Amino acid sequence: MLEHKGSMDIKTDRLLLRKFRISDAEEIFATWTSDERVAKYTSWYAHEKIEDTRAYVEYMAGKDQLSDYNWIIELDTKIIGSINVCYSDDRLEIAGIGYVLGYEYWRNGYTTEAVKAVIRFLFHDVNYRKVIAGCDSENIASSKVMEKVGMRREAVLREHIKRKDGTWGDNFQYGLLKREFVC
C-alpha cells in the first residue's frame, strides 16, 4: 500500500531536491525553460517570456497534495533542473518520472544522481512497486540516465512522438521494479 508523503526534501552527496517556490521563476527561466537545446526533446517549447515560466512555476508550486511529487534540483543553492512524478497509478503502484537539467550542467552525473535519489524515495518511502520513464529514441543522454539507474527498456513505441520539427520519433519506454533496485 502506498504511503504518500509529498515533495519532501531529498539530499544527495551533491544535490538538494526541494519543492518549487514562486521566487524560483527567474532562475528557472535563465537556466532551462528559455533554452532551445534543453527543450529539444521535451513536450514543451522553450519559453520566450518570463511570464510563461512564472505560470509554470506557480502551477508546480501549487501542487502540494501528498500525492504530488515535484522537485527543484539544486547544486550549491543554484537551481540546475527539476524532476517530478508526471504519471501515477495508485492501484497498480506505478510512478512515472520526468526530469530536465540546464544545459551547462549536462554530462556531470547530476541527473543520474537526482533520478536515483527520487527512485529510492518512491520505492522505500512511498512504497511504489514500479517506476517508469520514457524518452525520444534520439535522446541518447536520457536513455543513458535511465540505464545507469538500473531501468530496463521495456518497449519501443514506434513513431509515437511528434517532434517540434514535424518528424515522427520512436518513444523508448523504461521500467524498474522495486525488487530490482540496487541502492
Q: pLDDT of 102-128, one tens digit each? A: 999 999 999 999 999 999 999 999 999
Q: Are 14 and 113 in contact (CB under 8 A)?
A: yes
The one-letter amino acid code at 23 reads S
Task: Answer yes or no: is pLDDT of 183 > 90.
Answer: no
Q: Are 163 and 169 in contact (CB under 8 A)?
A: yes
Pairing label, strands 130-136, 94-101: parallel
Question: Average of pLDDT values for 54-61?
Answer: 98
Give the burial class of 112: count Cβ atoms within 10 A of its Cβ; 0-12 exposed, 13-18 middle, 19 or more buried: middle
Q: How far apart are CA 119 and CA 41, in angstroms?
A: 22
Please give the pLDDT value at position 182. Answer: 86
